[in-house]
Structure 1
């Protein structure tokens, strides 16, 4: 019996030229692949995913996020800076407070798609 972790490979060496040509013609630009890879690297951090989840629920200030995640404001600010640079979060000022929220609805869709995938049994 084969393990689930084993990779199945072809036992033939015949190339499917029509498939290869079709995929090669539709390949994205290298910059797009780099940008997408960078986005997933940013999302690949445990703390940043928790921040995104919290902001998915409600707009929050740094103090609130720090309390929710039981981390220092400095640590949260560092992570928010990374998320802001990746255009995943935005902020607004209200007096002395700075409130963070998700940048747009694409972030909601991206998070939900990932969540559905990991919860799918």
Structure 2
């Protein structure tokens, strides 16, 4: 019986990132932050979520380097970490839309 070789660390990180993106609430947060930086309160109110739930998801997204926070006075405004993240979200949204149109 042969054993499966270990995964390269990059592949493990990529798989974990996609697992995080598999949560609909996290996707809603990312898409909401696509247009402009948002505070936890703005995200919670607009998406009808509790602030503690939003904070939890943002902590996970920040850990995966998908969002970053910028402190302004007493609030932290969250935005997508970089152009790679925003491009991926836009591209996947278009991809899903194209699939739906073909069916």
Same structural fold, with TM-score higher than 0.5 when normalized by the shorter chain: yes
Is 2:31 aligned against 1:53? yes
Q: Deviations over 1:36-61 (max 9, x none)?
A: 11110011100000000010011100
2:49 aligned counterpart, secondary structure: coil
- Backbone CA RMSD of aligned residues: 1.0
- Aligned ranges for residues 1-121 of structure 1 at < 5 Å? 30-120=8-98, 121=102
Higher-RCO chain (CA-CA 8 Å, sequence separation at least 6): 2
Tell me the equivalent position of 1:16. none
Q: Which structure has the larger Rg over C-alpha atoms?
A: 1
Unaligned runs of 5+ in 1: 1-28
- For the residues of structure 2 that align with 1:94 and 1:111, how far apart are their CA atoms? 26
Deviation at 1:34, TM superposition (A): 0.9
- For the residues of structure 1 that align with 2:77 and 2:37, how far apart are their CA atoms? 6
Deviation at 1:33, TM superposition (A): 1.3
TM-score (norm. length: structure 2): 0.86
How many pairs are equivalent?
93
